[in-house]
Amino acid sequence: MSNQHNQEKLSSARFSESTDAFVEEFTASIQFDHRMYRQDIEGSVAHAKMLTEAGILSAQELSDIEAGLVKILAKIEAGEVQWSIKQEDIHMNIESLLTGLIGITGKKLHTGRSRNDQVATDIRLYLRDEIDMILPELKRLQQGILSLAEREFDTIMPGFTHLQTAQPVTFGHHMMAWFEMLKRDVERLQDCRKRVNTLVLGSAALAGTTYPINRETTARLLGFERISENSLDGVSDRDFAIEFTAFAATLMMHLSRFSEELVLWSSAQFQFIDLPDRFCTGSSIMPQKKNPDVPELVRGKSGRVYGHLMSLLTLMKSQPLAYNKDNQEDKEPLFDTVDTVKGSLRAFADMVPAIIVKRENTYEAAKRGFSTATDLADYLVRNKGMAFRDSHEVVGLAVAHGVKTKQDLSEMSLETLQGFCADITEDVYEVLTLEGSVAARNHLGGTAPNQVKAAIERAKADL
């Protein structure tokens, strides 16, 4: 076929005048949907095989189509294909290239399908492939967190509420909180994949097709676990993209929370950790600066993913059945969400295992802020039979004294403590130490070092 024919719009026969040049560019999606070329070719090969099985294409026609698509794939990956705005999208571009290679047989490939079900299939194949790359990165980050937690399973640090010192915890326990967040993210993504992995090809434009297609064959060839039950819903459903982006927004919220802590902990005011130089940058004017750019940037990127989720929800909220051109706007938010998630996970998975914890600083920080006050209250309840509300008041008075004298509870003399409650005895110091405080939380989910080690071992088994 001639070059000129290849540049003609394949769907132009209905029209009496050419599309306005600006409108042609404005309505085209090839500028961004060309990234789905592999999935488009994969879907077309499966569709051609099904058509051949149904007796709609001959064995020779199937052979020609497969050979042509293989050549096109090689040309695309070699950078030898120039995408045509005139052909609008990746589907029409590839069909035009195929027709240019093998002639009229290329035009037969579209039998029994529409661009509506073709694009919906491509997006599902694309997203399924991306999910299968994101899941290992999520698990790599989980493994990085586990390695850091294991190194610091008994390192004492202050636990915070309201960003105020609350109770001492172990650094390993804090890391395992991060792990639990990601564990839920993995479960959400695995569950999302089930709904992504649905065949919609065969829905055609909106009503199905008159050709004797076998959708079970296509589903098997493409590895889809289920087949859409309604052609109208099949071509217009973008719930799976919204669900993925909702997962991504939740994941980015978690990474943003991690980032906030890393930024705080690496500051001169905290000095809990040291981030490796390769994940930081300097200042153009202040030579002493070491800026935690990676966590700061990830924290910032959470906002763009939230925006993409709102964009997709808004895109779909007023659409009547079935397919509408609006749906072309689903791809850029989805593609950017995928790219942002993959980049953020890679950065964190590389960075987290390399974090250096400044144990002396975390220990000293845990000694400030009366972090064992609850332990003293529990001691009075458990060992001396005092009602908790009364013990709470006693400890409050002791803390007020400590604020005035700049003494931690563990630094006060027994005589001083007995001034607040005569029942206090020498054994109180066992619970006022940081080590005693964390060791006392010796239950499933607690911060005791042996419980942290057990949690790490369970997590390793899960991974």
Kindly report, residue by residue over 129-140, the tens digit of the pLDDT: 999 999 999 999
Whether residues 201 and 344 fall in one domain: yes
Whether residues 227 and 315 fall in one domain: yes
Q: How does residue 3 score in pLDDT terms, banded at 50, 70 and 90? A: very low
Whether residues 345 and 418 fall in one domain: no
Encode pLDDT of 400-441 as tens digits: 999 999 999 999 999 999 999 999 999 999 889 999 999 999
Encode pLDDT of 254-276 as tens digits: 999 999 999 999 999 999 999 99
Tokens at 51, concatenated: 């058509």
Whether residues 180 and 237 fall in one domain: yes
The alpha carbon of 427 is separated from its chain's Cα centroid by a whole number of angstroms, namely 49
Residue 6: what pLDDT? Answer: 45
Residue 36: what pLDDT? Answer: 98
Please say if 162 is a catalytic residue: yes
For residue 4, pLDDT beyond 60: no
CB 138 within 8 A of CB 345: yes
Cα–Cα distance for residue pair 69/81, rounded to 1 Å: 13
Q: How does residue 369 score in pLDDT terms, banded at 50, 70 and 90? A: confident
Q: 4-13, 40-49, 386-395, 401-410: lowest mean pLDDT where?
A: 4-13
Whether residues 194 and 329 fall in one domain: yes
For residue 17, pLDDT beyond 80: no
Whether residues 399 and 457 fall in one domain: yes
Q: Which amino acid is at 452?
A: V
Neighbour count for residue 320 (Cβ, 10 Å): 6
Whether residues 245 and 287 fall in one domain: yes
List alpha helices for 271-387, DSSP H: 293-316, 331-351, 359-367, 373-384
CATH number at residue 342: 1.20.200.10
Whether residues 180 and 55 fall in one domain: no
Per-residue exposure over 1-15, b if at least 16 CB sit within 10 Å of its own CB, e if not: eeeeebeebbeeeee
Encode pLDDT of 76-118 as tens digits: 999 999 999 999 999 999 999 999 999 999 999 999 999 999 9
Percent of the chain's residues with pLDDT above 70: 96
- Residues 451/247/138/272 CA torsion (nearest 10 deg): -60
The catalytically annotated residue of 11, 12, 267, 283 is: 283
Q: How does residue 342 score in pLDDT terms, banded at 50, 70 and 90? A: very high
Tokens at 168, concatenated: 């001492």
Does residue 277 or residue 172 have the better pLDDT? 172
State the first-to-last Cα distance of the chain, in angstroms, to the nearest integer: 54
Whether residues 137 and 226 fall in one domain: yes
CATH number at residue 51: 1.10.275.10
For residue 149, pLDDT beyond 80: yes
Whether residues 195 and 269 fall in one domain: yes
Number of domains observed in the structure of the chain: 3
Encode pLDDT of 205-234 as tens digits: 999 999 999 999 999 999 999 999 999 999
Cα–Cα distance for residue pair 224/199, rounded to 1 Å: 6
The catalytically annotated residue of 2, 16, 162, 284 is: 162
Whether residues 76 and 167 fall in one domain: no
Q: Which of 456, 275, 256 is nearest to 357 (CA)?
A: 275
Q: Is the pTM of this model over 0.85?
A: yes
CATH number at residue 456: 1.10.40.30
Residue 280: what pLDDT? Answer: 85
CA distances from 158 to 187, 364, 378, 428 (A): 30, 9, 19, 20
**Mean pLDDT, the chain, as a whole number?**
94
Cα–Cα distance for residue pair 213/178, rounded to 1 Å: 49
Q: Which of 61, 90, 111 is the last residue of a domain?
A: 111
Burial class of residue 59 (count of CB atoms within 10 Å of its CB; 0-12, 13-18, 19+): exposed
Q: Which of 343, 363, 383 is the last residue of a domain?
A: 363
Q: Which of 210, 203, 243 is nearest to 227 (CA)?
A: 203
Note down the domain range covering 169: 116-363
Whether residues 60 and 96 fall in one domain: yes
Tokens at 462, concatenated: 């899960």
Specify whether the backbone of 210 is left (phi greater than 0), alpha (psi in -120 to 50) or beta: alpha
Contacts of 420 (CB under 8 A, 6+ apart): 394, 395, 397, 398, 401
Q: Which of 336, 363, 390 is the last residue of a domain?
A: 363
